[in-house]
Structure 1
Amino acid sequence: MSDGTARHEVLLSDPEVVGRLLQRACDEIDGVEHAIMTSRDGLLIAANRESSGHRSADTIAVRASAMAAAGAGIGDHFTQLVSHGRLQGSIFEAEHGCVGVFPVSTTLLLIVTSRISVSMGRFSVAAKRTLQLLQSSDPDH
């Protein structure tokens, strides 16, 4: 891991920095309603500000973090079972929208939810743009 990558990952574990990036994704990427960063073991790191600060939203962020860790673990096992390489993400489609879980690094996961009635195709593009924003942005800005 290069020094730049190591620095970027350390900044992505800073809840304040991550919260700003997650809010930026929700503000700028069409179709993204909520974004949550969690550790691979299910500990909440940050959520976009509209997801945090409200009791039920805080509960959702904490519970989603635990479920994302479990889902990513299961996804890892599935992809290894069929020899398809490392897990790139899991998307769950529901009646009114989608939820996705994506590895950001070896220690971090991203949870993204769609706005109401966003199709799975549109959501997949929006979620990958969110992931790209986290992986390529200068976390200081």
Structure 2
Amino acid sequence: MTSADTHSQPSRAPLPVRKPAPESTGPPPDRAARRPPLDPERMLEALREVADQVDQVAGLLVATHDGLVLADDTEAVEADSVAAMSAAAIGLAAQFTAQARIGESRSALFEGSSGYVCVFPVEGSLLLVVFGQPDITMGLFTLAAKQALTLLRNRLPAPGGSHRTPPPPE
């Protein structure tokens, strides 16, 4: 078959046409729009309170799913780069767990030669990045990181705008 033959053959079916989206009555749904805006100063205060309550945590950072820093309580960490990488890491973790058929991703954990870092989806469009101290074991770090996540979730405003009641002291 020559190129001339290809052009002279009749078309089998018309190409599909993109249909316009139906008109909506309001703005598109946005997970972040359901909750009051988070104040970076209050978020930093919450991070510091969490860090004071959890042993073996070297730093905490809250980022958006877009990779932007909302608040960070870290030292010697380039917060903007970490926030961008945390968004990529949690996206990759979701794809990886889906392909491995092990359920919904709950975190992305990385082990370095001198510590650990874990990224958690908090709720809505927030991510929590937890850094472990250099001499912590993986088991202790996992416990500390999950404790930090729980404490931070308890300090966030509820979707209706009211604050959650922290659990009673143990």
How far the C-alpha of 1:70 sits from its partner, in A, is 0.6
Equivalent of 2:114 in 89, 96, 102: 96
Query: Structure 1 length normalisation: TM-score?
Result: 0.81
Equivalent of 1:35 in 47, 57, 60: 60
How far the C-alpha of 1:87 sits from its partner, in A, is 1.2
Deviations 1:84-139 (A, max 9, x none): 22211111111211100000013110000011211111000000000001112366
Matched length: 126
Structure 1 unmatched ranges of 5 or more: 1-5
SS of 2:106's equivalent in the other structure is: coil
- Mapped pair 1:68 → 2:86: yes
Ranked by relative contact order (alpha carbons within 8 Å, sequence separation 6 or more), the top structure is 1
Contact 1:25 1:32 in 2 (8 A): no
The amino acid that maps onto 2:140 is R
- Mapped pair 1:105 → 2:146: no
Equivalent of 1:126 in 126, 144, 150: 144
The amino acid that maps onto 1:26 is A
Structure 2 unmatched ranges of 5 or more: 1-33, 158-162
CA–CA separation in structure 2 for the residues paired with 1:93 and 1:121 = 12
The 5 Å alignment of 1:50-69 reads 51=74, 57=77, 60-69=78-87
CA–CA separation in structure 2 for the residues paired with 1:33 and 1:39 = 20
Question: What's the counterpart of residue 136 of structure 1?
Answer: 154
More helix by share: 1
SS of 2:66's equivalent in the other structure is: coil
Provide the aligned C-alpha RMSD in A. Answer: 2.0
Query: Structure 2 length normalisation: TM-score?
Result: 0.68
Question: What's the counterpart of residue 24 of structure 1?
Answer: 49
SS of 2:98's equivalent in the other structure is: helix
**Which deviates more, 76-85 or 128-137?**
76-85
Percentage of pairs with the same residue: 34
